[in-house]
Structure 1
Amino acid sequence: MKEIKRACLLAMATFLIASLGFSQSVLAEGSEGQTFFYKEQTLLTPIEAEWSYEGKNGPDYWETLSKEYEACGKGETQSPIDIETEPASKLDGADLDLAFDYNETIYSVEDHDEIFQANSFDLDNNTLTLDDEDYRLKQIALHTPSEHTIDGEEYPLEIQLVHENEDEEQLVISVMAEEGKEDKVLKKVWMALPKADGVANRAVDFDASELIPELDSLYTYEGSITTPPCTENVTWFVSDEPISLSDEQIEAVQKVSSENNRPIQDVNKRDILKVQP
Protein backbone atom coordinates (compact mmCIF):
# COMPACT_ATOMS: atom_id res chain seq x y z
CA MET A 1 0.00 0.00 0.00
CA LYS A 2 2.84 2.41 0.80
CA GLU A 3 4.34 1.88 -2.65
CA ILE A 4 0.97 2.53 -4.28
CA LYS A 5 0.54 5.68 -2.18
CA ARG A 6 4.00 6.96 -3.10
CA ALA A 7 3.34 6.21 -6.76
CA CYS A 8 0.15 8.26 -6.57
CA LEU A 9 2.01 11.12 -4.92
CA LEU A 10 4.70 11.08 -7.59
CA ALA A 11 2.07 11.00 -10.30
CA MET A 12 0.36 13.99 -8.72
CA ALA A 13 3.67 15.87 -8.58
CA THR A 14 4.35 15.11 -12.23
CA PHE A 15 0.93 16.45 -13.19
CA LEU A 16 1.40 19.60 -11.12
CA ILE A 17 4.84 20.25 -12.54
CA ALA A 18 3.63 19.71 -16.09
CA SER A 19 0.73 22.11 -15.53
CA LEU A 20 3.21 24.74 -14.33
CA GLY A 21 5.33 24.47 -17.43
CA PHE A 22 8.01 21.97 -16.36
CA SER A 23 8.55 18.75 -18.25
CA GLN A 24 10.15 16.47 -15.64
CA SER A 25 10.95 16.02 -11.95
CA VAL A 26 14.48 16.36 -10.63
CA LEU A 27 15.96 14.47 -7.71
CA ALA A 28 17.76 16.77 -5.26
CA GLU A 29 21.40 15.75 -4.88
CA GLY A 30 21.99 13.86 -1.66
CA SER A 31 18.34 13.78 -0.68
CA GLU A 32 16.82 10.66 0.83
CA GLY A 33 13.47 11.59 -0.68
CA GLN A 34 12.52 13.13 -3.96
CA THR A 35 12.12 16.85 -4.48
CA PHE A 36 10.60 18.46 -7.53
CA PHE A 37 11.16 21.83 -9.15
CA TYR A 38 8.02 23.92 -9.33
CA LYS A 39 6.88 27.43 -10.14
CA GLU A 40 6.83 30.11 -7.44
CA GLN A 41 3.68 30.15 -5.30
CA THR A 42 2.28 33.02 -3.24
CA LEU A 43 2.06 33.79 0.45
CA LEU A 44 -1.17 32.98 2.28
CA THR A 45 -1.39 36.55 3.53
CA PRO A 46 -1.27 39.22 0.79
CA ILE A 47 1.43 41.83 1.36
CA GLU A 48 -0.25 45.26 1.60
CA ALA A 49 3.01 47.08 2.34
CA GLU A 50 6.66 46.13 2.68
CA TRP A 51 7.60 45.08 6.21
CA SER A 52 10.65 43.60 7.87
CA TYR A 53 12.02 42.43 11.19
CA GLU A 54 14.40 45.34 11.58
CA GLY A 55 14.81 49.04 10.90
CA LYS A 56 12.01 51.43 9.93
CA ASN A 57 9.88 48.56 8.58
CA GLY A 58 10.41 46.45 11.71
CA PRO A 59 7.86 45.26 14.31
CA ASP A 60 7.82 48.59 16.19
CA TYR A 61 6.58 50.28 13.02
CA TRP A 62 4.30 47.65 11.47
CA GLU A 63 1.10 49.43 12.46
CA THR A 64 2.26 52.60 10.68
CA LEU A 65 3.05 50.93 7.36
CA SER A 66 -0.54 50.26 6.30
CA LYS A 67 -4.04 50.78 7.61
CA GLU A 68 -4.43 47.03 7.24
CA TYR A 69 -1.69 46.57 9.88
CA GLU A 70 -3.28 48.58 12.70
CA ALA A 71 -3.89 45.47 14.81
CA CYS A 72 -0.10 45.03 15.07
CA GLY A 73 -0.04 47.99 17.46
CA LYS A 74 -3.59 48.32 18.75
CA GLY A 75 -4.61 44.69 19.13
CA GLU A 76 -5.21 43.31 22.63
CA THR A 77 -4.65 39.62 21.83
CA GLN A 78 -1.40 39.63 19.89
CA SER A 79 1.11 36.81 19.43
CA PRO A 80 3.67 35.54 20.29
CA ILE A 81 3.69 35.48 24.09
CA ASP A 82 5.73 33.94 26.89
CA ILE A 83 4.07 30.75 28.10
CA GLU A 84 4.29 30.60 31.89
CA THR A 85 3.76 26.95 32.72
CA GLU A 86 3.16 27.11 36.45
CA PRO A 87 0.37 29.71 36.71
CA ALA A 88 -1.45 28.26 33.71
CA SER A 89 -4.97 27.05 34.41
CA LYS A 90 -5.55 23.39 33.58
CA LEU A 91 -7.98 22.02 31.04
CA ASP A 92 -8.82 18.33 31.19
CA GLY A 93 -8.13 16.67 27.85
CA ALA A 94 -11.54 15.04 28.10
CA ASP A 95 -13.06 18.50 27.73
CA LEU A 96 -11.20 19.15 24.48
CA ASP A 97 -11.81 17.02 21.41
CA LEU A 98 -8.61 17.45 19.39
CA ALA A 99 -7.79 14.95 16.64
CA PHE A 100 -5.21 14.88 13.83
CA ASP A 101 -5.61 13.27 10.42
CA TYR A 102 -2.29 13.93 8.67
CA ASN A 103 -1.00 12.06 5.62
CA GLU A 104 2.02 12.16 3.35
CA THR A 105 1.59 15.25 1.18
CA ILE A 106 3.50 17.27 -1.40
CA TYR A 107 4.54 20.74 -0.21
CA SER A 108 6.10 23.62 -2.09
CA VAL A 109 9.23 24.83 -0.31
CA GLU A 110 9.79 28.58 -0.41
CA ASP A 111 11.88 31.34 1.08
CA HIS A 112 10.20 34.74 0.88
CA ASP A 113 13.17 36.63 2.37
CA GLU A 114 11.48 37.00 5.76
CA ILE A 115 9.79 33.60 6.16
CA PHE A 116 10.85 30.11 5.15
CA GLN A 117 7.72 28.05 4.58
CA ALA A 118 6.17 24.97 3.03
CA ASN A 119 2.73 25.28 1.40
CA SER A 120 0.49 22.26 0.96
CA PHE A 121 -0.50 21.20 -2.55
CA ASP A 122 -3.45 19.18 -1.17
CA LEU A 123 -5.45 21.10 1.44
CA ASP A 124 -7.82 18.21 2.04
CA ASN A 125 -5.09 15.71 2.86
CA ASN A 126 -4.25 17.00 6.35
CA THR A 127 -6.95 18.02 8.79
CA LEU A 128 -7.15 18.84 12.46
CA THR A 129 -10.51 18.57 14.18
CA LEU A 130 -11.23 20.66 17.25
CA ASP A 131 -14.61 20.11 18.89
CA ASP A 132 -16.18 18.88 15.62
CA GLU A 133 -14.73 21.81 13.63
CA ASP A 134 -12.38 20.84 10.80
CA TYR A 135 -9.24 22.86 10.07
CA ARG A 136 -7.08 22.16 7.02
CA LEU A 137 -3.29 22.38 7.18
CA LYS A 138 -2.31 25.08 4.69
CA GLN A 139 1.20 26.13 5.57
CA ILE A 140 4.21 25.28 7.72
CA ALA A 141 6.38 28.27 8.67
CA LEU A 142 9.78 28.30 10.38
CA HIS A 143 10.94 31.09 12.67
CA THR A 144 14.44 31.43 14.05
CA PRO A 145 14.92 31.96 16.90
CA SER A 146 11.58 30.91 18.36
CA GLU A 147 8.77 33.46 18.58
CA HIS A 148 7.10 32.00 21.66
CA THR A 149 9.14 31.44 24.78
CA ILE A 150 8.37 28.95 27.54
CA ASP A 151 9.04 30.26 31.04
CA GLY A 152 11.25 32.86 29.40
CA GLU A 153 13.33 30.30 27.49
CA GLU A 154 13.95 30.97 23.80
CA TYR A 155 14.58 28.06 21.40
CA PRO A 156 16.74 28.06 18.24
CA LEU A 157 13.75 27.32 16.01
CA GLU A 158 9.94 27.32 16.08
CA ILE A 159 7.79 25.34 13.66
CA GLN A 160 4.28 26.71 13.14
CA LEU A 161 1.66 24.53 11.45
CA VAL A 162 -1.04 26.91 10.22
CA HIS A 163 -4.57 25.54 9.79
CA GLU A 164 -7.73 27.22 8.54
CA ASN A 165 -11.43 26.29 8.61
CA GLU A 166 -14.16 27.11 6.09
CA ASP A 167 -14.78 30.46 7.81
CA GLU A 168 -11.08 31.36 7.35
CA GLU A 169 -10.49 31.14 11.11
CA GLN A 170 -6.96 30.02 11.89
CA LEU A 171 -5.56 27.49 14.32
CA VAL A 172 -1.80 27.13 14.76
CA ILE A 173 0.15 24.26 16.29
CA SER A 174 3.53 25.51 17.50
CA VAL A 175 6.49 23.19 18.12
CA MET A 176 9.91 24.22 19.41
CA ALA A 177 13.13 22.67 18.16
CA GLU A 178 16.28 22.29 20.21
CA GLU A 179 19.81 21.28 19.25
CA GLY A 180 20.47 17.57 19.46
CA LYS A 181 20.43 14.56 17.18
CA GLU A 182 19.67 14.86 13.49
CA ASP A 183 16.07 14.14 12.59
CA LYS A 184 16.55 11.60 9.80
CA VAL A 185 12.86 11.46 8.93
CA LEU A 186 12.88 15.19 8.16
CA LYS A 187 16.23 15.21 6.40
CA LYS A 188 14.67 15.33 2.95
CA VAL A 189 12.74 18.45 3.92
CA TRP A 190 15.94 20.30 4.79
CA MET A 191 17.49 19.11 1.51
CA ALA A 192 14.93 21.29 -0.27
CA LEU A 193 16.12 24.44 1.51
CA PRO A 194 17.48 27.07 -0.85
CA LYS A 195 21.24 27.60 -0.60
CA ALA A 196 20.76 31.39 -0.57
CA ASP A 197 17.98 33.94 -0.21
CA GLY A 198 15.18 33.50 -2.68
CA VAL A 199 12.46 31.07 -3.59
CA ALA A 200 13.59 27.46 -3.51
CA ASN A 201 11.41 26.49 -6.48
CA ARG A 202 11.11 22.95 -5.18
CA ALA A 203 8.51 20.68 -3.69
CA VAL A 204 8.94 17.74 -1.35
CA ASP A 205 6.63 15.08 0.07
CA PHE A 206 6.48 14.30 3.79
CA ASP A 207 4.08 13.52 6.62
CA ALA A 208 3.56 16.61 8.81
CA SER A 209 2.77 14.42 11.82
CA GLU A 210 6.52 13.79 11.99
CA LEU A 211 6.97 17.44 12.94
CA ILE A 212 4.87 17.04 16.08
CA PRO A 213 6.27 15.39 19.23
CA GLU A 214 4.26 13.31 21.66
CA LEU A 215 1.68 15.78 22.92
CA ASP A 216 1.75 14.98 26.61
CA SER A 217 0.61 18.51 27.29
CA LEU A 218 -0.18 21.62 25.28
CA TYR A 219 -0.75 25.23 26.16
CA THR A 220 -3.59 26.99 24.37
CA TYR A 221 -4.60 30.63 24.18
CA GLU A 222 -6.31 33.09 21.84
CA GLY A 223 -3.90 35.23 19.84
CA SER A 224 -3.03 36.51 16.39
CA ILE A 225 -0.87 35.70 13.41
CA THR A 226 2.68 36.91 14.10
CA THR A 227 3.23 38.80 10.83
CA PRO A 228 1.35 41.74 9.32
CA PRO A 229 -1.58 42.28 9.27
CA CYS A 230 -1.46 40.65 12.76
CA THR A 231 -5.05 39.37 12.42
CA GLU A 232 -6.51 38.28 15.75
CA ASN A 233 -8.94 35.50 16.73
CA VAL A 234 -6.31 32.84 16.09
CA THR A 235 -6.32 29.74 18.33
CA TRP A 236 -2.81 28.70 19.37
CA PHE A 237 -1.63 25.36 20.73
CA VAL A 238 1.99 25.49 21.91
CA SER A 239 3.79 22.26 22.76
CA ASP A 240 6.14 22.29 25.74
CA GLU A 241 7.95 19.22 24.36
CA PRO A 242 10.57 20.25 21.76
CA ILE A 243 11.76 18.08 18.91
CA SER A 244 15.47 17.54 18.28
CA LEU A 245 17.33 18.78 15.20
CA SER A 246 21.05 18.77 14.52
CA ASP A 247 23.14 21.94 14.53
CA GLU A 248 23.51 21.58 10.75
CA GLN A 249 19.75 21.38 10.22
CA ILE A 250 19.09 24.47 12.33
CA GLU A 251 21.94 26.37 10.69
CA ALA A 252 20.54 25.50 7.24
CA VAL A 253 17.32 27.34 8.13
CA GLN A 254 19.18 30.25 9.69
CA LYS A 255 21.18 30.77 6.50
CA VAL A 256 18.07 31.45 4.43
CA SER A 257 15.91 33.02 7.13
CA SER A 258 17.88 35.34 9.36
CA GLU A 259 16.26 36.41 12.64
CA ASN A 260 12.56 36.42 11.85
CA ASN A 261 10.86 36.31 15.22
CA ARG A 262 8.39 38.94 16.33
CA PRO A 263 9.06 40.23 19.88
CA ILE A 264 7.02 38.87 22.78
CA GLN A 265 3.63 40.58 23.18
CA ASP A 266 1.69 41.44 26.34
CA VAL A 267 -0.61 38.69 27.62
CA ASN A 268 -3.05 41.30 28.97
CA LYS A 269 -6.13 39.59 30.43
CA ARG A 270 -5.91 36.42 28.41
CA ASP A 271 -6.08 32.94 29.92
CA ILE A 272 -3.35 30.41 29.12
CA LEU A 273 -4.73 26.92 29.53
CA LYS A 274 -2.65 23.78 29.96
CA VAL A 275 -4.29 20.87 28.14
CA GLN A 276 -3.60 17.54 29.84
CA PRO A 277 -4.39 14.17 28.27
Structure 2
Amino acid sequence: MKKFKRLGMVGLLSVAVLAACSTDTTKEAQPAESAATEESLETEEVSAKDVKWTYEGETGTENWHTLHPEFAPCADGKEQSPVDIDLAKVKLDQTLEELQINYSPTQFTLQNNGHTFQLNDPTGSNTIVVEGEEYKLLQMHFHIPSENTINGEHFAMEGHLVHINEAGSLAVVGFMIEAGVENEILKEAWANMPTEKTPEDVELTNPIDLQNLLPANMKSFRFSGSLTTPPCSEGVSWIVLENPIQYSQEQIDAFAEIFPPHNSRETQPLHEREIHTHD
Protein backbone atom coordinates (compact mmCIF):
# COMPACT_ATOMS: atom_id res chain seq x y z
CA MET A 1 0.00 0.00 0.00
CA LYS A 2 1.30 3.45 -0.83
CA LYS A 3 2.77 5.66 1.87
CA PHE A 4 1.36 9.04 2.84
CA LYS A 5 3.26 12.26 3.36
CA ARG A 6 3.32 13.55 6.91
CA LEU A 7 2.39 17.05 8.06
CA GLY A 8 3.34 17.99 11.60
CA MET A 9 3.03 14.50 13.07
CA VAL A 10 5.72 12.50 14.80
CA GLY A 11 6.01 8.78 14.27
CA LEU A 12 2.50 8.46 12.68
CA LEU A 13 1.11 6.78 9.68
CA SER A 14 2.26 4.73 6.83
CA VAL A 15 -0.86 5.52 4.73
CA ALA A 16 -4.13 7.41 5.17
CA VAL A 17 -11.21 9.01 8.00
CA LEU A 18 -13.21 10.45 9.57
CA ALA A 19 -14.60 10.86 8.63
CA ALA A 20 -15.17 9.37 8.83
CA CYS A 21 -16.97 8.95 6.45
CA SER A 22 -18.90 5.86 7.73
CA THR A 23 -22.20 4.37 7.24
CA ASP A 24 -25.66 3.94 7.19
CA THR A 25 -27.25 7.18 6.01
CA THR A 26 -27.42 8.47 9.55
CA LYS A 27 -23.95 7.80 10.94
CA GLU A 28 -20.72 7.33 9.01
CA ALA A 29 -18.60 4.37 9.94
CA GLN A 30 -20.78 2.46 12.31
CA PRO A 31 -20.91 -1.14 11.06
CA ALA A 32 -20.80 -3.71 13.84
CA GLU A 33 -17.53 -5.47 14.51
CA SER A 34 -18.78 -9.06 14.38
CA ALA A 35 -16.69 -11.04 11.94
CA ALA A 36 -18.30 -12.65 8.93
CA THR A 37 -17.25 -16.10 7.77
CA GLU A 38 -16.07 -16.65 4.21
CA GLU A 39 -18.87 -19.13 3.60
CA SER A 40 -21.62 -16.79 4.78
CA LEU A 41 -20.25 -13.94 2.70
CA GLU A 42 -20.33 -16.14 -0.38
CA THR A 43 -24.00 -16.87 0.20
CA GLU A 44 -24.70 -13.21 0.96
CA GLU A 45 -26.29 -14.19 4.28
CA VAL A 46 -24.34 -11.59 6.23
CA SER A 47 -25.74 -8.08 6.39
CA ALA A 48 -23.37 -5.40 5.13
CA LYS A 49 -23.49 -3.64 8.48
CA ASP A 50 -22.11 -6.76 10.19
CA VAL A 51 -19.05 -7.09 7.96
CA LYS A 52 -15.74 -6.31 9.63
CA TRP A 53 -13.56 -3.87 7.68
CA THR A 54 -10.37 -2.07 8.54
CA TYR A 55 -7.82 0.23 6.92
CA GLU A 56 -5.02 -2.27 6.33
CA GLY A 57 -4.44 -5.91 5.48
CA GLU A 58 -6.99 -8.41 4.16
CA THR A 59 -9.96 -6.30 5.26
CA GLY A 60 -8.26 -3.00 4.39
CA THR A 61 -9.11 -0.30 1.86
CA GLU A 62 -7.83 -2.14 -1.22
CA ASN A 63 -10.07 -5.12 -0.43
CA TRP A 64 -13.26 -3.46 0.78
CA HIS A 65 -15.09 -4.31 -2.44
CA THR A 66 -14.46 -8.04 -1.85
CA LEU A 67 -16.00 -8.14 1.63
CA HIS A 68 -19.68 -7.81 0.63
CA PRO A 69 -21.64 -7.26 -2.59
CA GLU A 70 -22.94 -3.95 -1.26
CA PHE A 71 -19.34 -2.72 -1.05
CA ALA A 72 -18.85 -2.96 -4.84
CA PRO A 73 -18.83 0.86 -5.31
CA CYS A 74 -15.58 0.96 -3.33
CA ALA A 75 -13.90 -0.41 -6.48
CA ASP A 76 -16.40 0.23 -9.29
CA GLY A 77 -17.68 3.69 -8.40
CA LYS A 78 -16.79 6.67 -10.58
CA GLU A 79 -17.46 9.37 -7.97
CA GLN A 80 -15.51 8.10 -4.99
CA SER A 81 -14.12 10.07 -2.07
CA PRO A 82 -11.74 11.32 -0.82
CA VAL A 83 -10.00 13.22 -3.63
CA ASP A 84 -6.94 15.33 -4.23
CA ILE A 85 -7.83 18.98 -4.78
CA ASP A 86 -5.40 20.22 -7.43
CA LEU A 87 -5.67 23.99 -7.11
CA ALA A 88 -4.52 24.52 -10.69
CA LYS A 89 -7.52 22.53 -11.96
CA VAL A 90 -10.22 23.85 -9.64
CA LYS A 91 -12.96 25.67 -11.56
CA LEU A 92 -14.06 29.12 -10.38
CA ASP A 93 -17.87 29.24 -10.37
CA GLN A 94 -19.36 32.63 -9.59
CA THR A 95 -22.86 31.11 -9.53
CA LEU A 96 -22.13 28.99 -6.45
CA GLU A 97 -24.11 30.20 -3.46
CA GLU A 98 -22.24 30.86 -0.25
CA LEU A 99 -22.52 28.00 2.22
CA GLN A 100 -25.01 28.93 4.94
CA ILE A 101 -24.23 27.48 8.36
CA ASN A 102 -26.84 27.64 11.11
CA TYR A 103 -25.17 26.10 14.15
CA SER A 104 -25.74 26.86 17.82
CA PRO A 105 -24.10 25.50 21.01
CA THR A 106 -25.25 21.88 21.26
CA GLN A 107 -25.05 19.07 23.81
CA PHE A 108 -23.32 16.38 21.76
CA THR A 109 -22.69 12.81 22.87
CA LEU A 110 -19.47 10.87 22.29
CA GLN A 111 -19.00 7.55 20.57
CA ASN A 112 -16.06 5.36 19.61
CA ASN A 113 -17.55 3.22 16.84
CA GLY A 114 -14.39 1.18 16.34
CA HIS A 115 -13.30 3.21 13.31
CA THR A 116 -13.31 6.80 14.55
CA PHE A 117 -14.21 9.13 17.39
CA GLN A 118 -17.66 10.56 16.72
CA LEU A 119 -19.80 13.34 18.20
CA ASN A 120 -23.52 12.73 17.66
CA ASP A 121 -26.10 15.52 17.52
CA PRO A 122 -29.48 14.34 18.87
CA THR A 123 -31.21 17.70 18.47
CA GLY A 124 -31.75 18.10 14.71
CA SER A 125 -31.43 21.85 15.24
CA ASN A 126 -28.11 22.45 13.47
CA THR A 127 -28.38 22.94 9.73
CA ILE A 128 -26.55 24.03 6.61
CA VAL A 129 -27.98 25.29 3.32
CA VAL A 130 -26.19 24.16 0.16
CA GLU A 131 -27.42 25.64 -3.12
CA GLY A 132 -30.84 26.30 -1.59
CA GLU A 133 -31.17 22.84 -0.02
CA GLU A 134 -31.31 22.47 3.77
CA TYR A 135 -29.46 19.64 5.48
CA LYS A 136 -29.59 18.72 9.19
CA LEU A 137 -26.43 17.82 11.09
CA LEU A 138 -26.22 14.19 12.21
CA GLN A 139 -22.70 13.85 13.53
CA MET A 140 -19.08 14.89 13.38
CA HIS A 141 -16.13 12.51 13.20
CA PHE A 142 -12.40 12.57 12.47
CA HIS A 143 -9.68 11.01 10.32
CA ILE A 144 -5.92 10.92 10.70
CA PRO A 145 -4.28 12.11 8.52
CA SER A 146 -6.69 14.11 6.34
CA GLU A 147 -8.50 12.05 3.73
CA ASN A 148 -8.90 14.80 1.15
CA THR A 149 -5.63 16.41 0.12
CA ILE A 150 -4.73 19.79 -1.38
CA ASN A 151 -2.08 19.74 -4.09
CA GLY A 152 -1.22 16.21 -2.99
CA GLU A 153 -0.52 17.18 0.61
CA HIS A 154 -2.23 15.77 3.69
CA PHE A 155 -3.09 17.81 6.74
CA ALA A 156 -2.52 16.31 10.18
CA MET A 157 -6.22 15.45 10.54
CA GLU A 158 -9.61 16.12 8.97
CA GLY A 159 -13.03 16.52 10.54
CA HIS A 160 -16.27 15.61 8.76
CA LEU A 161 -19.63 17.17 9.60
CA VAL A 162 -22.28 14.83 8.17
CA HIS A 163 -25.71 16.23 7.25
CA ILE A 164 -28.88 14.80 5.72
CA ASN A 165 -31.80 16.42 3.88
CA GLU A 166 -35.47 15.41 3.78
CA ALA A 167 -34.86 13.17 0.76
CA GLY A 168 -32.15 11.24 2.61
CA SER A 169 -29.24 12.67 0.63
CA LEU A 170 -26.02 13.48 2.47
CA ALA A 171 -23.82 16.56 2.51
CA VAL A 172 -20.44 16.47 4.24
CA VAL A 173 -18.49 19.54 5.32
CA GLY A 174 -14.81 18.63 5.61
CA PHE A 175 -12.44 20.82 7.60
CA MET A 176 -8.68 20.42 7.75
CA ILE A 177 -6.72 20.34 10.99
CA GLU A 178 -3.09 21.37 11.42
CA ALA A 179 -0.79 21.27 14.44
CA GLY A 180 -0.74 24.51 16.45
CA VAL A 181 -2.51 25.80 19.53
CA GLU A 182 -4.80 23.70 21.70
CA ASN A 183 -8.38 23.58 20.47
CA GLU A 184 -10.43 24.88 23.39
CA ILE A 185 -13.85 24.22 21.81
CA LEU A 186 -13.25 20.47 21.65
CA LYS A 187 -11.07 20.27 24.75
CA GLU A 188 -13.66 18.50 26.92
CA ALA A 189 -14.63 16.09 24.15
CA TRP A 190 -10.98 15.26 23.49
CA ALA A 191 -10.31 14.70 27.19
CA ASN A 192 -13.17 12.18 27.27
CA MET A 193 -12.41 10.31 24.06
CA PRO A 194 -13.30 6.64 24.64
CA THR A 195 -10.24 4.49 24.03
CA GLU A 196 -12.36 1.43 23.19
CA LYS A 197 -15.50 0.90 21.15
CA THR A 198 -18.47 2.16 23.16
CA PRO A 199 -21.69 0.13 23.56
CA GLU A 200 -23.57 3.40 24.16
CA ASP A 201 -22.85 7.11 23.84
CA VAL A 202 -20.94 9.03 26.50
CA GLU A 203 -22.54 12.22 27.82
CA LEU A 204 -20.68 15.55 27.85
CA THR A 205 -21.04 18.24 30.50
CA ASN A 206 -20.78 21.33 28.32
CA PRO A 207 -22.30 22.23 24.92
CA ILE A 208 -20.03 22.54 21.89
CA ASP A 209 -20.10 25.72 19.82
CA LEU A 210 -19.54 24.44 16.28
CA GLN A 211 -20.04 27.89 14.77
CA ASN A 212 -16.78 29.02 16.41
CA LEU A 213 -14.98 25.75 15.70
CA LEU A 214 -14.81 26.36 11.94
CA PRO A 215 -12.44 28.83 10.27
CA ALA A 216 -13.50 32.45 9.87
CA ASN A 217 -12.88 32.28 6.12
CA MET A 218 -15.34 29.71 4.81
CA LYS A 219 -14.03 29.49 1.24
CA SER A 220 -14.76 25.94 0.06
CA PHE A 221 -14.29 23.39 -2.67
CA ARG A 222 -17.42 21.62 -3.95
CA PHE A 223 -17.68 18.24 -5.69
CA SER A 224 -19.85 15.17 -5.91
CA GLY A 225 -18.48 12.16 -4.08
CA SER A 226 -19.15 9.23 -1.81
CA LEU A 227 -18.86 7.99 1.73
CA THR A 228 -15.21 7.32 2.48
CA THR A 229 -15.99 4.04 4.25
CA PRO A 230 -17.93 0.93 3.17
CA PRO A 231 -20.30 0.72 1.42
CA CYS A 232 -18.75 3.78 -0.33
CA SER A 233 -22.21 4.94 -1.44
CA GLU A 234 -22.14 7.76 -3.99
CA GLY A 235 -24.35 10.82 -4.39
CA VAL A 236 -22.80 12.68 -1.45
CA SER A 237 -22.37 16.45 -1.76
CA TRP A 238 -18.91 17.42 -0.53
CA ILE A 239 -17.92 20.85 0.76
CA VAL A 240 -14.25 20.93 1.78
CA LEU A 241 -13.10 24.11 3.54
CA GLU A 242 -9.81 25.49 2.26
CA ASN A 243 -8.59 27.05 5.50
CA PRO A 244 -7.60 24.76 8.38
CA ILE A 245 -8.26 25.00 12.09
CA GLN A 246 -5.68 24.07 14.72
CA TYR A 247 -5.27 21.35 17.33
CA SER A 248 -2.28 21.02 19.59
CA GLN A 249 0.18 18.29 18.73
CA GLU A 250 -0.84 16.65 22.00
CA GLN A 251 -4.48 16.51 20.85
CA ILE A 252 -3.45 15.06 17.50
CA ASP A 253 -1.25 12.45 19.18
CA ALA A 254 -4.06 11.48 21.59
CA PHE A 255 -6.31 10.60 18.64
CA ALA A 256 -3.49 8.75 16.89
CA GLU A 257 -2.94 6.54 19.93
CA ILE A 258 -6.54 5.31 19.77
CA PHE A 259 -6.64 4.73 15.99
CA PRO A 260 -3.15 3.63 14.94
CA PRO A 261 -1.59 3.77 12.47
CA HIS A 262 -4.32 5.76 10.68
CA ASN A 263 -8.03 5.74 9.82
CA SER A 264 -8.06 7.35 6.39
CA ARG A 265 -8.84 6.09 2.91
CA GLU A 266 -6.51 6.89 0.02
CA THR A 267 -7.55 9.56 -2.48
CA GLN A 268 -9.61 8.28 -5.41
CA PRO A 269 -9.60 9.17 -9.13
CA LEU A 270 -11.74 12.12 -10.18
CA HIS A 271 -12.71 10.50 -13.50
CA GLU A 272 -15.05 13.01 -15.24
CA ARG A 273 -15.71 15.13 -12.16
CA GLU A 274 -14.77 18.76 -11.70
CA ILE A 275 -14.07 20.56 -8.43
CA HIS A 276 -15.58 24.02 -8.11
CA THR A 277 -14.90 26.96 -5.84
CA HIS A 278 -16.13 30.52 -5.36
CA ASP A 279 -14.63 33.88 -4.46
Report the TM-score range of the alignment, normalised by the length of the smaller protein: 0.7 to 0.9
Give 2:136's aligned residue.
136
Task: Tell whether the 8 Å contact from 1:48 to 1:68 is kept in structure 2 after alignment.
Answer: no
Cα deviation per residue 1:241-274 (whole Å; 9 max; x = unaligned)?
1101101111111122220000110011101111
Task: Tell whether the 8 Å contact from 2:27 to 2:139 is kept in structure 1 after alignment.
Answer: no
Of 237, 255, 266 in structure 2, the residue corresponding to residue 263 of structure 1 is 266
Give 1:234's aligned residue.
236
- Give the whole-Å Cα distance in 2 for the aligned partners of 1:174 and 1:255: 22
Letter in 1 for 2:58: K
Give 2:202's aligned residue.
202
Letter in 2 for 1:137: L
- Give the whole-Å Cα distance in 1 for the aligned partners of 2:147 and 2:140: 14
Residues 159-198 of structure 1 correspond to what in structure 2 (within 5 A)?
Answer: 159-194=159-194, 196-198=195-197
- Give the whole-Å Cα distance in 2 for the aligned partners of 1:117 and 1:145: 16
Alpha-carbon distance, 1:235 to partner: 0.7
2:149 corresponds to 1:115: no
Runs of 4+ in structure 1 off by over 4 angstroms are 42-46
Structure 1 pair 173–274 and aligned structure 2 pair: CA distance change class (3 A): same
Alpha-carbon distance, 1:214 to partner: 1.9
Cα deviation per residue 1:191-211 (whole Å; 9 max; x = unaligned)?
2212x2222842232122233
Letter in 2 for 1:191: A
Q: Which has the higher strand share?
A: 1
Q: TM-score, normalised by structure 2?
A: 0.79
Task: Tell whether the 8 Å contact from 2:226 to 2:234 is kept in structure 1 after alignment.
Answer: yes
Larger radius of gyration: 1
- Give the whole-Å Cα distance in 2 for the aligned partners of 1:95 and 1:61: 37
Q: How large is the Cα RMSD of the aligned pairs?
A: 1.7
Q: Which has the higher helix share?
A: 1
Task: Tell whether the 8 Å contact from 1:113 to 1:256 is kept in structure 2 after alignment.
Answer: no
- Give the whole-Å Cα distance in 1 for the aligned partners of 2:60 and 2:258: 18
Give 2:76's aligned residue.
74
Give 2:37's aligned residue.
none
- Give the whole-Å Cα distance in 1 for the aligned partners of 2:130 and 2:242: 19
Task: Tell whether the 8 Å contact from 2:27 to 2:138 is kept in structure 1 after alignment.
Answer: no
Alpha-carbon distance, 1:89 to partner: 0.6
What secondary structure, in the 3-state scheme, does the structure 2 residue paired with 1:229 have? coil
Residues 42-81 of structure 1 correspond to what in structure 2 (within 5 A)?
Answer: 43=27, 46=31, 47-81=49-83
- Give the whole-Å Cα distance in 2 for the aligned partners of 1:227 and 1:215: 28
Q: TM-score, normalised by structure 1?
A: 0.79
Count of residue pairs the alignment pairs up: 232
Task: Tell whether the 8 Å contact from 1:111 to 1:256 is kept in structure 2 after alignment.
Answer: no
- Give the whole-Å Cα distance in 2 for the aligned partners of 1:164 and 1:231: 14
Alpha-carbon distance, 1:141 to partner: 1.0
Q: Specify every segment of 5 or more residues in structure 1 that has no aligned partner in the other structure, as ranges.
A: 1-41
Alpha-carbon distance, 1:216 to partner: 4.4
What secondary structure, in the 3-state scheme, does the structure 1 residue paired with 2:123 have? coil
Identity of aligned residues (%): 34
What secondary structure, in the 3-state scheme, does the structure 2 residue paired with 1:106 have? coil
Structure 1 pair 71–181 and aligned structure 2 pair: CA distance change class (3 A): same
